Amino acid sequence: LHQGTGVGSAGAQQQGDPAAADPAFVNAASPGLKARIVGVFVRSTAAANSYPRMLAVVFDGLFGAATTPRLKQLCMELVAWSFKHGTNAQLAPISPVVLQGLLKTLDLGVGKNATGLAGDAPAVALRQFTYGALGQLCRRVPKLVASDDALAARLFRAAAEESQALVSSVADALSALSLAFRELDAKGGVTPELLLALLALVEVAAASDARAARLLAAQWAARVFPFSHAGARRICALCAGDDAMDVREEGLAGLKAPKSDDASWPTSADMLRRLRTASPRLSTEVRQGEALLMPPRQYASLLTFVRACRQREMAGQGAAMPKANAEAEEALSDRLYE
């Protein structure tokens, strides 16, 4: 009913063309009827497992010549539904094709510069469902999306560029992608080179003017990288000194060690080396009256964490930090955070 059946065409059948003599011939449904049919599919688990026929329905609705904004939105909703309720056996073969279709939809730019007016609602909804489908894809087929940094780079860029109406959808997709990387890393599937590329993306996002990008950077630094990773802890410390409260809270959460007793910490030397590499100016002396090289809150969070690393190291050696040093560092940290 949706795609039509039989051979030939309606015009040829009316002209008596023998090729169209199939008595079961049915024209493809109109865009309005297709939308009603797809509206039924998005509530059916049987439809979610009817690939490859469902894939033809989706691509027809997204890229067909006679499609409509409403039909596109429903088809993208159907993709998300399929990845939520489809079986692994059904999803695995078609996932790469679906991923390319989702990225192509984003590339078309529909809804990218939405102003929030009522007329933009269909375009915004389509883009929201596209990011939602990407999130479901990350949850169901993590190996596909976490094999390189391409999708992560695209989503971090979107977090800084998309309209406010779409930021939460991008954040959900990035959150699902972070879990995909963490799952793959637990199985030894994330190479050091890929981890380095991801860290570079997170560092750029942490320095972004967009609050949403900084918030996501703090979340990724806390989730994707092991607690012993000095570069990721540096990002968390910087975010812990952010002006936005939600970014500060995520940064502080990333500086709390896992509850397990054998949690591995970065060394204070690693932290200081990472700081000097990222900000060479920190090696220079700041004279009284001169501006600090970074915001006071960021200084405070970095000092606090490096001091915690030192205290842990000295405790492991059976020594304690000299009381005068500890009090001086704590006083300096408190003053910087005022």
Q: How far apart are CA 311 and CA 333, in angstroms?
A: 15
Q: Stretch 60-75: mean pLDDT, rounded?
A: 89
The whole-angstrom separation of Cα 14 and Cα 20 is: 9
Is it the case that residue 64 has pLDDT exceeding 60? yes
Q: Over the stretch 69-102, which tens digit does the pLDDT of each residue have?
A: 889 999 999 999 998 898 988 888 889 999 999 9
CB-hemisphere CA count at 13 Å for 164?
4
d(CA 175, CA 177): 5
Q: Is the bond leading into 296 cis (omega within 30 degrees of zero)?
A: no
213, HSE (Cβ side, Cα atoms, 13 Å) = 22
Q: Write down the mean pLDDT value for the chain.
A: 83
Q: Give me the pLDDT at residue 1, please.
A: 63
pLDDT at 155 over 90: yes
Contact 162, 112 (CB under 8 A): yes
pLDDT at 90: 86
* CA–CA dist 264, 103 (Å, integer): 38
Residue-wise burial string across 47-58, b where 16 or more C-beta atoms lie within 10 A, e elsewhere = bbebbeebbebb
User: Which of the four pLDDT bands, split at 50, 70 and 90, describes residue 25?
Assistant: low
List, for residues 251-308, the tens digit of each pLDDT value. Answer: 999 999 888 766 789 999 999 999 888 887 777 777 777 777 778 888 888 889 999 9
Interval 42-53: pLDDT, tens: 999 999 888 888
Tell me what percent of the chain is helix, strand and coil, each rounded to the nearest 5.
70, 0, 30
pLDDT at site 52: 82
- pTM beyond 0.75: the answer is yes
- Higher-confidence residue of 283 and 177: namely 177
Give residue 229's pLDDT. 94
